[in-house]
Amino acid sequence: MDMSVFDLFKIGIGPSSSHTVGPMLAARRFLLEAGALDQAIGIAVGLYGSLALTGVGHGTDKAILLGLMGETPQDIAPDAVDGKLAALAQSGEIALLGTHTVPFDAARDLVWHKREVLPEHPNGMRFALRLADGNTIERVFYSTGGGFIHAEGEAQAAKSEGVVAVPYPFNTMSDLLQHGKESGLSIAAMMRANECAHISSEQLDAGLDQLWRVMHACIARGLQHGGELPGGLRVKRRAAALWQAANDSANDAADALPQDGLHRVSLYAMAVNEENAAGGRVVTAPTNGAAGIIPAVLRYYAEDCKPSDPVQGVRDFLLSAAAIGMLCKRNASISGAEVGCQGEVGVACAMAAAGLVAALGGTNEQIENAAEIGIEHHLGLTCDPIGGLVQIPCIERNGMGAVKAITASSLALKGDGTHYVSLDQVIETMRQTGADMMTKYKETSLGGLAIHVVTVNYSAC
């Protein structure tokens, strides 16, 4: 497997990993690799397919501009974004990588090709750097979900080069389970060994701990902030008020429901995705649109499951969850534009379910069972965001996904790991279902809820 846990879990900003994080990374990488900035007199960007159709609601245009300025998703302060973009719009100039200034007019130099899709993926971008000698440096990039990007032709080249050597290579869950039987190691232990082929154990633990800190902080912010989300739908943030109400009624037997624990979990997930929709700091897990599920289930584990070693439990959770995400990314997709929301919320649910079972000491077979249940019951889930915004149905869908993950974990832990449908089979089913799904249901806002709910004109927002 040619991925790291830190490829799958990325610290960035909302609202979308494929439409915000990926394009920002691609824009910056284009300029870094193009060179000749001192000769540049202008730059143009074309957005294609899903990036063009839902890019305004997903902040793709803003992400592209920030990337061209040299900003990165993990380092930029969310509160600084509006000021940087306002200064650009006022000046009519953009400082490429923060060093070389050229004229820039978004209405002229940023083109939305809504009826054209580039060949390698629905999320395509074409960059063109114009030079003083009349030449142009041009390159196409694709944002393939979860903040992953590749240049045109690069994906095929990478496949031909093979994968990096690790102690426990795997391309399927069957491979991973076989390694476990032969070695006697857990999935988390095998993932740790693979990661430590490239970094030290101390670096790995520091990185995992940082991921959890960012996730936990995101939940905390989301449970404090009210008001409306940006974008024109005037969606009210609900997590903070519901959280306060839940705490106020905690000692009121007349108001308390038996499922209050799961209610809190759903609020954790909604809090994260409200932060994401507001452009806040999140961890792509495995995407921004599904970023609330894993943090919510992790907090449930750390606080409600009363683990004896929560620090190590969180690390095992993330490592095991990453293994599931890697399999889905490799053998199907985690891109809503490619397979619908089954590849985002469905995969996140499976990852969280697997991680929780791992943290609670489940067997490798129980981990696989939990992940399989998580995806199976999201098969066919469409991606049809209203107005192209990562708000409806995305925010509530994360709350439901977190609850489903806990249910899947419970079912798996109550069994012995044997089950009828394998994870490999359900991942392949997800891939085929995504291929069969009509394009209008794959992050285009041309079908489903996106066209059956009256909205405002978002292109003007």
- 3-state helix, strand, coil split of the chain in percent (to 5) is 55, 10, 35
Q: Which residues pair with 46 in a beta bridge?
A: 111, 126
Distance CA 1, CA 24 (A): 25
pLDDT at 63 over 90: yes
Question: CA–CA distance from 43 to each of 26, 62, 125, 143, 271 (Å)?
Answer: 14, 15, 13, 20, 38
Cβ contacts of 434 within 8 Å, gap of 6 or more: 332, 333, 338, 339, 340, 342, 343, 442
Encoded tokens for 41: 């007199």
pLDDT at 416 over 50: yes
What is the structure's pLDDT at 455? Answer: 57
Q: Name the residue among 394, 400, 383, 371 with its Cα closest to residue 448.
A: 383
What's this model's pTM, rounded to 2 decimal places? 0.93
What DSSP string runs through 303-340? HHS--SSHHHHHHHHHHHHHHHHHHHHHHS---HHHH-
Mean pLDDT, rounded, for 327-332: 97
Q: CA Rg, the chain, in Å?
A: 22
Cβ contacts of 361 within 8 Å, gap of 6 or more: none
What is the structure's pLDDT at 458? Answer: 43
Res. 229 pLDDT band, cuts 50 70 90: very high
Distance CA 294, CA 348 (A): 7
What is the structure's pLDDT at 250? Answer: 61
Q: Which residues pair with 102 in a beta bridge?
A: 94
Res. 261 pLDDT band, cuts 50 70 90: confident
